[in-house]
Amino acid sequence: QKASTWVLQADQMVKPEWFQSSMMQALNPALVMILIPFNNLVLYPLLERSGVKVTALRRMGAGIALAGAAWIVAGVLQLWLDAGDRVSIVWQMLPYALLTLGEVLVSATGLEFAYSQAPLSMKGTIMSFWSLSVTVGNLWVLLSNISIKSPGALAAIQSTGYSETACLMFFFAGFALVAAAVFAWVARNCPMQNNYRG
C-alpha cells in the first residue's frame, strides 16, 4: 500500500516543485540499510542491557505492531489533509520510518527464524511458504481495496464523515494491531528448535 496509497497521499502534500511524490519510496531502502545494522549493533544490545530479552518472536510481534502504528500516523495525516490543512511531505517520513522498522523486524527476523526452526529436509519448503505468505498478503490487500468500493462499505464510510482513504488506512492499522496481538498470544507457547545448521 505504501507504493500506491501513500504516493497518492503525498500528491496532496506540500513539497518542492522538483520533488515527485514517488520519490518518498526511496526512503524505504535507505532506512532498511540504516536500521538493520542499527538494530543489531545498538538497539538489541541496549534492550538486552535494560533487561528485555530480545527474541525473534518478540521482534516479529513488535514489527507487526509498528506497522499498525505507521498506518495510524498515515491515517492522521490523511485526516489533516481531508480537513484542508496544508501538510508538509516531511511529515510522511514518520510513517515510512515506523513501517520500515516494522518491516525489518518482521522480514529479516522472520526469514532467519523460519530457516532456523525448519529441519534440513524442510528448509526449502519453509522458504517457499514464506514467499507464499507474502503473495497471500498482497491478495488480501487487493481484496480489501476492492471490498471498500462496495455500496455497503461506501455507505458505512460516508456515515463516519471520514474519507475513504482515511478509513482504509485506519482499517489496515486495526488489522495489523489485532494481528500483532494474536501473534504475541500464539508465540508465547511456540516450542523453539535449533536447526540453524542442521
* Crossing angle of the two packed helices 56-82 and 109-117, in degrees rounded to 10: 150
pLDDT of residue 198: 46
DSSP 114-125: HHHHS-GGGHHH
Q: Is the backbone of residue 51 left (phi > 0), alpha (psi -120 to 50) or beta?
A: left
* pLDDT tens across the length of the chain (198 residues): 667 889 999 999 999 999 999 999 999 999 999 999 999 999 999 999 999 999 989 999 999 999 999 999 999 999 999 999 999 999 999 999 999 999 999 988 888 888 788 788 888 888 888 889 889 988 988 888 888 888 888 888 888 889 999 999 999 999 999 999 999 999 888 776 665 554
Sign of CA dihedral 160, 166, 168, 169: negative
> What CA–CA distance (Å, rounded) separates 192 from 32?
27
Could you tell me where the DSSP H helices lie in the chain? 5-11, 27-38, 44-49, 56-82, 93-103, 109-117, 123-147, 151-160, 164-187
pTM: 0.87
pLDDT of residue 178: 96
pLDDT of residue 26: 93
Cell numbers for 131 = 514467499
Mean pLDDT for all residues in the chain: 90
